[in-house]
Amino acid sequence: MREGAYNGTLLLVDDNEINREILENVFAPYYVSDHAENGSIGLEKILACPDKYCAVLLDVVMPEMNGIQLLRHLKVKGLVDKIPIFLITAEASDTVTKEAYELGVMDVISKPVIPYIVQRRVNSVVELFQARKRLGNKVEEQQSELLAQEQKVIELNQGMIEALSTAIEFRNGESGEHVRRIHDITRLLLLHTDLGAGMNEEAIENIALASIMHDVGKIAIPDSILNKPARLTPEEFEIMKTHTTQGAELLERIPQLRCHESYQYACDIARHHHERWDGRGYPDGLKGDEISLGAQIVSLADVYDALVSKRCYKAAFSRADALQMIRRGECGVFNPFLLNRFLAVEEEVASLYVRNSEEGRSYGCSH
pLDDT of residue 358: 46
Considering the domain architecture, whether residues 187 and 314 belong to the same structural domain is answered as yes
Active site residue 218: yes
Considering the domain architecture, whether residues 316 and 186 belong to the same structural domain is answered as yes
pLDDT band at 8 (very low <50, low <70, confident <90, very high): confident
35 - beta bridge partners? Answer: 12
Considering the domain architecture, whether residues 189 and 306 belong to the same structural domain is answered as yes
- Residue from 77, 218, 228, 241 carrying the catalytic annotation: 218
Considering the domain architecture, whether residues 121 and 206 belong to the same structural domain is answered as no
Q: Does residue 257 belong to any structural domain of this protein?
A: yes
> What is the pLDDT averaged over residues 57-67?
92
Q: Does residue 151 belong to any structural domain of this protein?
A: no
For residue range 118-151, list pLDDT tens digits in order: 899 899 888 888 888 777 777 777 777 766 665 6
Q: Does residue 353 belong to any structural domain of this protein?
A: yes
Q: Which among 171, 179, 178 has a CA at the least distance from the CA of 209?
A: 179
For residue range 142-195, list pLDDT tens digits in order: 777 766 665 655 555 565 566 566 656 655 555 567 888 999 999 999 999 999
Considering the domain architecture, whether residues 286 and 230 belong to the same structural domain is answered as yes
Q: Is 20 helix (H, G, I), strand (E, B) or coil?
A: helix
pLDDT of residue 157: 57
Indicate which CATH number applies to the domain containing 240. Answer: 1.10.3210.10
Considering the domain architecture, whether residues 125 and 189 belong to the same structural domain is answered as no
Percent of the chain with pLDDT over 90: 54
Considering the domain architecture, whether residues 96 and 15 belong to the same structural domain is answered as yes
Res 360 pLDDT > 60 = no
Percent of the chain with pLDDT over 70: 84
For residue range 30-56, list pLDDT tens digits in order: 999 999 999 999 999 999 998 899 999
Considering the domain architecture, whether residues 190 and 327 belong to the same structural domain is answered as yes
For residue range 195-245, list pLDDT tens digits in order: 999 999 999 999 998 998 898 898 889 988 988 888 899 999 999 999 999
The residue among 119, 141, 163 that closes a domain is: 141
Considering the domain architecture, whether residues 135 and 194 belong to the same structural domain is answered as no
Considering the domain architecture, whether residues 131 and 203 belong to the same structural domain is answered as no
Considering the domain architecture, whether residues 177 and 230 belong to the same structural domain is answered as yes
**In this structure, how many other beta carbons lie within 10 angstroms of the beta carbon of residue 79?**
19
Q: Which domain holds residue 338?
A: 172-358
Q: Does residue 255 belong to any structural domain of this protein?
A: yes
CA distance 89 to 85: 13
- Total domains in the fold of the chain: 2
More confidently predicted of 355 and 73:
73
Indicate which CATH number applies to the domain containing 25. Answer: 3.40.50.2300
| Residue count of the chain | 367
Q: Does residue 163 belong to any structural domain of this protein?
A: no
H helix or E strand, kind and range, residue 297: helix 293-308
Q: For the residues of 176-237, what is the DSSP string, one character each?
A: SHHHHHHHHHHHHHHHHSGGGTT--HHHHHHHHHHHTTTTGGGGGS-HHHHT-SSPPPHHHH
Considering the domain architecture, whether residues 329 and 289 belong to the same structural domain is answered as yes
Q: Long-range contacts for 317-320 (Cβ within 8 Å, ≥24 apart)?
A: 319/346, 319/350
H helix or E strand, kind and range, residue 19: helix 17-27
Q: Does residue 4 belong to any structural domain of this protein?
A: no
